[in-house]
């Protein structure tokens, strides 16, 4: 893979010291291999000092908000990371109850100067760790990308209201803030600030699509210099995404968890990304299996139509077989297994690589 001179200069600009947005006890050490990281990735060598900010199997974590805990918590919540896999099986973990939204950082051995922020799925009830997070991160770092797996807040919508004052906008607040922090720390992370992509899956695909549509909307009060940076991804890849908040096309669980107990037509409209495509949408890569039993493929098609109506650059792949939540491990032996290479070839046309 070709690495231009600019990317090399950016990659060589790593510094050590304290940086806003990073764990306050963490000094970046770009050339030190991270404990617990798989071969082909690099990270800082410092251990986490707070159990609240630690993430399994990663050495480098970026908190999104000053002090760690996000603003506007309305009721106590407790973070958990259960394991669903049986002994001997690959990890299948997820996170719930996070009050400290943060990113797991995966660094490549040979950075290409580009970055990808991943928003895993989980129906807004949980955020998947492995299947739509770490596994994609490993695939991408092997190809030179610096990767950030975002553990965004869950709105917690139920009969008692939301967990957060920002309500249904909480995941978008975190996605915008994460994009800005990545660009703010670009030199120390070895990336070119404009070349930051977004990729999301299922409900995380909704986060990705919402970010790509509403990157310019003010959904939180700026807190520091990082918020001077753009939240617009250079390109976006919502994969088998939740898009519509209108039934019957919408995913009922994501809709309920995101919009809370009193769902109005206005709320459905406000959080359906296809209804908010801006004048300058980033290029989109869309992916769905037509036999998806969870999220109706019409979600992807309605987003495609809305993007096309705005003149956006769009590539759409519909596979006959794949089901839902296939990520990487669920594609083995199926034609849909080619999707990451399709994305990579397409990403080269967007300026990301």
Write the pLDDT tens digit of every residue in 107-121. 999 999 999 999 999
CA-to-CA separations, 153 to 61, 166, 173, 198, 337, in angstroms, rounded:
16, 10, 9, 17, 30
The token duo for 341 is 């290479």
Confidence category of residue 260, pLDDT binned at 50, 70, 90: confident
Confidence category of residue 53, pLDDT binned at 50, 70, 90: confident
Residues 205/184, Cβ–Cβ less than 8 Å = no
pLDDT at 330 over 50: yes
Locate tokens 């908190």: which residue?
Answer: 63
Across 80-103, average pLDDT: 95
Do the strands 146-151 and 102-108 form a parallel or antiparallel pair, or are they unpaired? antiparallel
CATH number, domain 5-347, options 3.40.50.2000, 3.40.50.1820, 3.40.190.10, 1.10.10.10: 3.40.50.1820
Q: pTM for the full model?
A: 0.86
User: What pLDDT does residue 21 have?
Assistant: 40
Confidence category of residue 50, pLDDT binned at 50, 70, 90: low
Residues 250/215, Cβ–Cβ less than 8 Å = no
Q: Closest Cα to residue 198, out of 94, 117, 97, 260?
A: 117
Residues 281/232, Cβ–Cβ less than 8 Å = no
pLDDT at 13 over 50: no
pLDDT at 47 over 70: no
Q: For 278, list phi and psi in degrees, rounded to 5.
A: -80, 180
Torsion over CA: 20, 22, 24, 26 (sign): negative
Region for 68 from its dihedrals, namely left if φ exceeds 0, alpha if ψ lies in -120 to 50, beta otherwise: left
Across 60-75, average pLDDT: 92
User: What pLDDT does residue 159 have?
Assistant: 66
The token duo for 241 is 């995404």
User: What pLDDT does residue 51 have?
Assistant: 56
In whole numbers, what is the pLDDT of the chain averaged over residues?
A: 87
170-184 helix and 203-214 helix, angle to the nearest 10 degrees: 70
The token duo for 237 is 């890849």
pLDDT tens digits for range 209-251: 999 999 999 999 999 999 999 999 999 999 999 999 999 999 9
Of residues 39 and 219, the one with the higher pLDDT is 219
276: exposed, middle or buried (C-beta count within 10 Å: 0-12, 13-18, 19+)? middle
Residues 192/7, Cβ–Cβ less than 8 Å = yes
For the chain, the domains span: 5-347
pLDDT at 49 over 60: no
CA–CA separation, 26 and 47 (whole Å): 8
Q: Closest Cα to residue 23, out of 43, 1, 2?
A: 43
pLDDT at 306 over 60: yes
């Amino acid at each position: 893979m070709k690495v231009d001179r600019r990317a090399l200069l950016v990659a060589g600009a790593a510094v050590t010291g304290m940086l806003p947005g990073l764990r306050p006890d963490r000094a970046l050490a770009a050339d030190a291999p991270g404990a617990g990281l798989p071969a082909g990735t690099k990270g800082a060598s410092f251990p986490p000092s707070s159990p609240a900010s630690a993430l399994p199997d990663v050495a480098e974590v970026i908190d999104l908000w000053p002090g760690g805990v996000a603003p506007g918590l309305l009721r106590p919540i407790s973070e958990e990371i259960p394991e669903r896999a049986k002994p001997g099986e690959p990890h299948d973990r997820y996170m719930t109850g996070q009050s400290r939204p943060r990113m797991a950082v995966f660094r490549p051995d040979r950075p290409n100067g580009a970055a990808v922020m991943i928003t895993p799925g989980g129906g807004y009830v949980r955020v998947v760790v492995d299947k739509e997070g770490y596994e994609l991160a490993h695939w991408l770092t092997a190809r030179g990308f610096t990767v950030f797996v975002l553990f965004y807040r869950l709105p917690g919508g139920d009969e008692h209201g939301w967990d957060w004052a920002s309500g249904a906008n909480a995941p978008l607040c975190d996605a915008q803030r994460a994009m800005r922090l990545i660009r703010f720390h670009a030199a120390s992370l070895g990336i070119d600030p404009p070349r930051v992509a977004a990729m999301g899956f299922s409900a995380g695909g909704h986060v990705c699509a919402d970010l790509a549509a509403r990157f310019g909307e003010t959904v939180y009060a700026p807190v520091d210099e990082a918020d001077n940076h753009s939240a617009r991804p250079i390109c976006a890849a919502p994969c088998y995404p939740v898009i519509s908040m209108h039934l019957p096309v919408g995913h009922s669980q994501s809709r309920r968890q995101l919009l809370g107990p009193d769902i109005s037509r206005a709320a459905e409209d406000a959080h359906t990304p296809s209804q908010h495509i801006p004048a300058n949408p980033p290029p989109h890569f869309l992916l769905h299996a037509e036999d998806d039993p969870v999220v109706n493929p019409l979600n992807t098609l309605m987003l495609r139509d809305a993007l096309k109506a705005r003149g956006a650059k769009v590539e759409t792949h519909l596979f006959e077989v794949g089901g839902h939540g296939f990520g990487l491990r669920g594609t083995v032996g199926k034609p849909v297994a080619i999707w990451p290479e399709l994305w990579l070839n397409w990403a080269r046309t967007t300026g990301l690589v």
